[in-house]
A and B are shown apart, each in its own frame.
Chain A
């Protein structure tokens, strides 16, 4: 099988940020990912989609170096994932946090700087970096609020700021729009599109068939991995991924040439 690339154009000169070759991973006897080849170029905006249990989260955790592949190699910025992890900005789902945890918004953002700030209290420059990151996501006015008191969308933006404060070269999102209302979700994607001018962005989405207008390529994960440029994504590839009786809704507020809705059945 030829190596899959997310770029439309083979002559693309952009730097490869993530390269996976023949990667397989199993939890005990259950094979989650099998013979995955993947190449992600800088400044792409990738969506990872696929059914629950299909291996999306595992793929993300492999890239972040939280899991090691059983076979195959992964390189992130040309390095092993665990060593490159601090160059990645990870934004987890905002629902996993303890509602009563005693932290302010600024405290949360500063957390990404704890490793590099050394022992003892944060210095002024760390605070400044955190405030800049909060300004980028338009949350600077909320800096002293209790993190738990924010809405889902606001919390999500603070977690983006936490990733941004460490000045990452790539952002990885787990479910950016889960439990966030539509307006907040739109706002989130606007911020991401703005960030995408400078850095590579990868989002994992459980919203089946959810493909946003800003996204350049879609990686379909269901044990095996297929890559589609968004323009080529159609009902057939979705059927391949999820099986029959699954339809694709193109999430796009401008009507595309092919129309708004493709059905596979």
Chain B
């Protein structure tokens, strides 16, 4: 931990890593809260796995045809947006079951990625960093793109907050009240896609879902309004990414996995705190302790 703090002054890659974690936390807290209250974690998982296709294809094109601008991050962004549009189109225009659509997108995206990576000589080691993240490899250019994605997300959420809240709470009523629900949902999935791209840089494809869901779920227990949930979730995410980075540095542990472990620990701690507070507040002789069917009377 101490080593981390002294090296932080010295090494640019550490500063970049910390900044990337901080910026990703903002997106993670906001979009993670929506994803959690709408129970769409599985969609985020499908989009995350699709980014492998984009990163693999980008690396291949970069190496074979010298397209230097096509970085894996750019490829991931394109793939995630395409996945979001495909999911949103198939949901609206086909009779396929949702989990079939998501499983298909999930595995086809990964398949494409693995095919490209196998044909790209000398880049097999990239696979590990894509799957499990390598926050210490974030470059200045990546950081710029991450910042840009963050700004787009903040702007869009500010503009669409009311509609997204209404749709998340009661989609049918939103439709009747005149909200263009399908269009808003497509926009929302694109925002999820951008967030996933940011988080893939920090914790890798496989662990994205945990970082999206755990801080938001913990925040949901501590708050009763969505903006507060977003703020609490952002702070918890910040704690997990920065703390995980610091803890993993000296013993040379994988940063992504450490971040997730920390996020899980925070989730459990918040859960215990919530239970204790509820027992404490429960009037005597009113139902069993530790009931899972607790009425949502948390204020």
Contact = CB atoms under 8 A, between A and B. Distances in A.
B92 to A, nearest CB: 15
B275 interface: no
Contacts of B224: 102-104, 146, 148-149
A98 interface: yes
A257 interface: no
A77 interface: no
Contact of B228 (A64, A92, A102): A102
B163 A115 contact: yes
A145 B298 CA distance: 10
A120 to B, nearest CB: 6
Interface stretch (B154-162, B191-199, B244-252): B154-162
A121 B296 contact: no
Contact of B176 (A65, A99, A108, A120): A65
B176 A88 contact: yes
B173 interface: yes
A85 B163 contact: no
B170 interface: yes
B298 A146 contact: yes
Contacts of A116: 178
A102 to B, nearest CB: 5
Contacts of A103: 165, 169, 224-226
Contact of A114 (B165, B295, B297, B298): B165
B262 to A, nearest CB: 24
Contacts of B7: none
Contacts of A122: 162
B220 interface: yes
B299 A112 contact: no
B223 interface: yes
B210 interface: no
B176 A114 contact: no
B166 A111 contact: yes
Contacts of A42: none
A231 B267 CA distance: 60
Interface string A44-70: 000000000000000000001110000
A100 B168 CA distance: 12
Contact of B173 (A92, A101, A145): A92
Contact of A90 (B163, B169, B176): B176
A121 B169 contact: no
Contacts of A162: 173
Contact of B165 (A90, A97, A99, A111): A111
A88 B169 CA distance: 19
B177 interface: yes
A149 B178 contact: no
Given A102-B226, A104-B224, A120-B159, A66 B177 contact: no
A66 B162 contact: no
A220 interface: no
B159 A102 contact: no
A166 interface: yes
B173 A112 contact: yes
A264 interface: no
A195 B228 CA distance: 35
30 contacts: A85-B175, A86-B178, A88-B176, A100-B37, A100-B220, A100-B296, A101-B168, A102-B228, A102-B229, A103-B165, A103-B225, A103-B226, A107-B165, A110-B162, A111-B162, A111-B166, A111-B170, A114-B163, A114-B165, A114-B177, A114-B179, A115-B174, A115-B178, A115-B179, A117-B162, A120-B159, A148-B224, A148-B296, A149-B298, A162-B173
Interface of B: 33, 37, 158-163, 165-166, 168-170, 172-179, 220, 223-226, 228-229, 295-299
- 9 residue pairs, one from A and one from B, having the closest CB atoms: A148-B296, A115-B178, A99-B296, A146-B224, A111-B166, A114-B162, A86-B178, A119-B159, A114-B166
Given A107-B226, A112-B177, A114-B177, 17 more contacts: A66-B175, A86-B176, A88-B176, A90-B176, A92-B173, A99-B295, A102-B223, A103-B225, A107-B225, A108-B169, A111-B162, A111-B170, A111-B177, A114-B166, A122-B162, A148-B224, A162-B173
